[in-house]
Amino acid sequence: MNLLVFLSDLCNMTCDYCFLSLNAKPAAVLSEDAGARAVDAHLDRFGSRARFTLLGGEPLLHPQLALSLARRARAAGAKVTLVTNGTKAGPRILGPVLALGVEVAVSLDGKAASHDKHRRTLAGAATHAAIMKVLSGADRAALRVNLVVSRETVGALLTNLEWLRNEGFRRLSFHPDVARPWSASGLSALGTAMSGFARYARALETAAPGALSYWHLDSYRAAATGVPEGDDELVLGADGRYYAGDAWLSRRYGAGLDGAVGDAASGPDWDRRRALLAEVDRGVAAALAGAPYYTWPRETYALAALNGRDPAAAARAFRAADAVLGDALSALAKETARA
């Protein structure tokens, strides 16, 4: 069970495929007391199965809070991941986090031409050069890169992967942009890119074994049908409340309380959480009508429903892109297992 801990709603960037409500006033910043209570409660309930992901906004805008919560969880042997945009990931801040054994994932879409199309400062300026300067002193092999493949950048996927490898990154995960539906031509381009990726990955593994690892391959070994039996995420918002999912954080804190399921002081209301997610799952199941999937689009369905869009159409659009990505990654994952 992964507890997603949102440290604040503050971010120094604006990415056009981010769905969170950010930089509202007054700012919401998680108190250290609420964060510590939630970490301890999660450890008490799930023990060795407990995992934690530190998010924002940008979590490294609050380095001491991030470090304190990471230290608390790591002292119990739990896995901790911190997801950052990289702008504050200099050695002074990043070093102590990595020294704890925290996995650090940097959101970086490859070369500047792709990255800067979607990831800009609040004033609209490019961010790639500044991020790479901050990361110039980092052990890039110790970081994981999160890369989003969009309609505008899908044709540059292999170029971006090879550039990341040449820059010293060794662990990658990528997924399609799900903020906007993919057109038929976009899905065709994604299919072409994924075919090329499969050839690239096989050739690279032959020429340089272990040169790149793909963090998310295990989750794509086989397509599924039907509603998943369980779920593995709980959300702690920066307001100290638990939420059924992070889709509810697409509305500013205080406006999305229909998704609240307890708080750090009293603990999660597991029954209410199950009821909310079951309602979403029924909608997803009806939308997919038994079609196979790799990633159950619960978040996509809930996000659309909460923001006045057709949730069934959103779920089907997500599945169309997920199937293209998943088929290629599934085949590669099976080859990797056999090897």
What does the pLDDT look like over 108-136, one tens digit per residue? 999 999 999 999 999 999 999 999 999 99
Region 1-24: mean pLDDT is 96
Considering the domain architecture, whether residues 247 and 298 belong to the same structural domain is answered as yes
Considering the domain architecture, whether residues 195 and 240 belong to the same structural domain is answered as no
Considering the domain architecture, whether residues 239 and 214 belong to the same structural domain is answered as no
Domain that holds residue 276: 233-322
Name which of 310, 291, 292, 293 is nearest 301 in CA terms. Answer: 310
**pLDDT attached to residue 175:** 86
Considering the domain architecture, whether residues 273 and 329 belong to the same structural domain is answered as no
Which of 66-75, 305-314, 322-331 is predicted with the least confidence, judged by mean pLDDT? 322-331
Q: What pTM value is reported for the model?
A: 0.95
**pLDDT attached to residue 339:** 57
Considering the domain architecture, whether residues 218 and 250 belong to the same structural domain is answered as no
Query: Whole-angstrom Cα distance, residue 185 to residue 189?
Result: 6
Q: If you write DSSP's letter for every residue of 315-337 in order, what string do you get?
A: HHHHHHHHHHHHHHHHHHHHHHH
Region 222-243: mean pLDDT is 92
- pLDDT tens, residue by residue, 182-211: 899 999 999 999 999 999 999 999 999 989
**pLDDT attached to residue 230:** 75
Considering the domain architecture, whether residues 316 and 257 belong to the same structural domain is answered as yes
* Residue 176 · residue 151 · CB < 8 Å: no
Query: Whole-angstrom Cα distance, residue 194 to residue 154?
Result: 9
* Residues near 305 by beta carbon (within 8 Å), at least 6 away in sequence: 280, 283, 311
Considering the domain architecture, whether residues 202 and 264 belong to the same structural domain is answered as no
On the question of pLDDT at 40 being above 90, the answer is yes
CATH number of the domain where residue 108 is located = 3.20.20.70
Considering the domain architecture, whether residues 42 and 97 belong to the same structural domain is answered as yes
Considering the domain architecture, whether residues 58 and 126 belong to the same structural domain is answered as yes
Considering the domain architecture, whether residues 221 and 252 belong to the same structural domain is answered as no
Considering the domain architecture, whether residues 173 and 274 belong to the same structural domain is answered as no
Which of 35-44, 224-233, 283-292 is predicted with the least confidence, judged by mean pLDDT? 224-233
Count: domains in the chain: 2
**pLDDT attached to residue 180:** 81
- pLDDT tens, residue by residue, 286-312: 999 999 999 999 999 999 999 999 999
Query: Whole-angstrom Cα distance, residue 134 to residue 88?
Result: 7
Mean model confidence pLDDT for the chain? 94
Region 231-259: mean pLDDT is 95
Considering the domain architecture, whether residues 170 and 250 belong to the same structural domain is answered as no
On the question of pLDDT at 331 being above 90, the answer is no
Region 33-49: mean pLDDT is 96
